Amino acid sequence: MHQIGGDVGIAIGMYYVCRIKRQFISDPWVATMSQTQFFGEKSASFNGLFNRKHFGFRHDLVGHPLFQLDRLAELSKTILTASDGKWSVNHNVLYKPAETVPNSAKQWDNFKPADIVPEAIRNIRESAAWVLITGADLDPDYRELLNQMLADGERSCGTEYRDDIIWSTLSILVGSPNSVTHYHVDSESNFLFQIHGHKEAHLFDADDRTIIKEEDIERFLAVSDAHIKFHPDFEKKATVYELRAGDGIHIPPYAGHWVRNLSQYSVTATALFYTREATDRAWVYQCNHVLRSFGFKPTPPGQTVNIDLFKKGLIKALSTSRPQNKYDHLRSGVRWLTAPSRILGKFTNKRARA
């Protein structure tokens, strides 16, 4: 009798194993994930451009189940629950009505309560919404995807950068037709993947000092609320990428850009990260900002190696040894360095109002 019961148990177990196995194999994304190329082979021709120049590539993420609207709506609930309705640097959901005219002054304005985001995502074709999910990698499925993106990017670009990464995250932008992402500059390295829809991305050279000056970068990195303005004349120097599902762009730090969705709703994923090398360069810029505020004319990064070592060493010594978020990695040192002047400024303003 025990033997019969054991045989039945084994048979039932084998039945469910077979069902699970068939389901696993029938899902093309699950079955082929280990063979998926997140970057097409063409991107291998861009050796040496990583973190220096923007360039386009192809990817194989179109149709991925993690980027279906229902799944993204559930992800937004996960992030909203984790943040408990409060602003979090590591993970948050930003929502605002879609805008159709580029305006660099409005990139981080006009945000609304995010409780309607899940429904706005599900109805993104008609909801006239602009939704940014940051810290999607809080969800283990998206964390695994981010790791695979970075690994395949390293293979394709011919640059070994993963061991140099000190912080990374996955952000997802969901936008209604004809909406814009206003002109802005990022401090992170960026691999952008267009998953659904058709858009135009206008990118600018991070090394063109008629577009972005040394002082602009210094202030952007040293002052938390600093934004870089867009001038219409910049557009003459724009490289315009027509992005369809399956296209991607690498955007190096400080390469200004703005984006317009066309007739379809858009889903875009961005793998964002800081490398140690790029962070060291940012620390030199921050030190230069402080020097410039005292009337000096500091040399840009890369021109005087020994002086650069001193500048980044100073900021590093002042930075927290236990960073909790990207701002701790990048800005904790310069916050300490500029604290006396900020305190003095507040005291002076208070006396002036008295």
**Domains of the chain and any CATH numbers:** 38-276 (2.60.120.650), 278-353 (no CATH)
Residue with tokens 């040394």: 214
Task: Write the DSSP symbol of residue 35.
Answer: G
Query: Which pTM does this prediction carry?
Result: 0.85
- pLDDT tens per residue, range 295-339: 999 999 999 999 999 999 999 999 999 999 999 999 999 999 998
Residue 276 Cα distances to 62, 143, 230, 279, 322, angstroms: 31, 21, 29, 5, 15
Task: Examine the pLDDT at 83 and tell me if it is beyond 70.
Answer: yes
Tally the residues of the chain.
354
Mean residue pLDDT across the chain = 85
pLDDT at residue number 130: 94
Q: What does the alpha-carbon distance between residue 329 and residue 333 come to, in Å, rounded to a whole number?
A: 8
Residue with tokens 């490289």: 239
Task: Examine the pLDDT at 13 and tell me if it is beyond 90.
Answer: no
Residue 347 Cα distances to 58, 226, 341, 342, 343, angstroms: 54, 21, 10, 9, 6
Q: What is the dihedral of CA 129, 70, 144, 176, to 10 degrees?
A: -20
- pLDDT tens per residue, range 153-212: 888 887 889 999 999 999 999 999 999 999 999 999 999 999 999 999 999 999 999 999
- pLDDT tens per residue, range 257-277: 999 999 999 999 999 999 999
Q: What does the alpha-carbon distance between residue 79 and residue 312 come to, in Å, rounded to a whole number?
A: 34
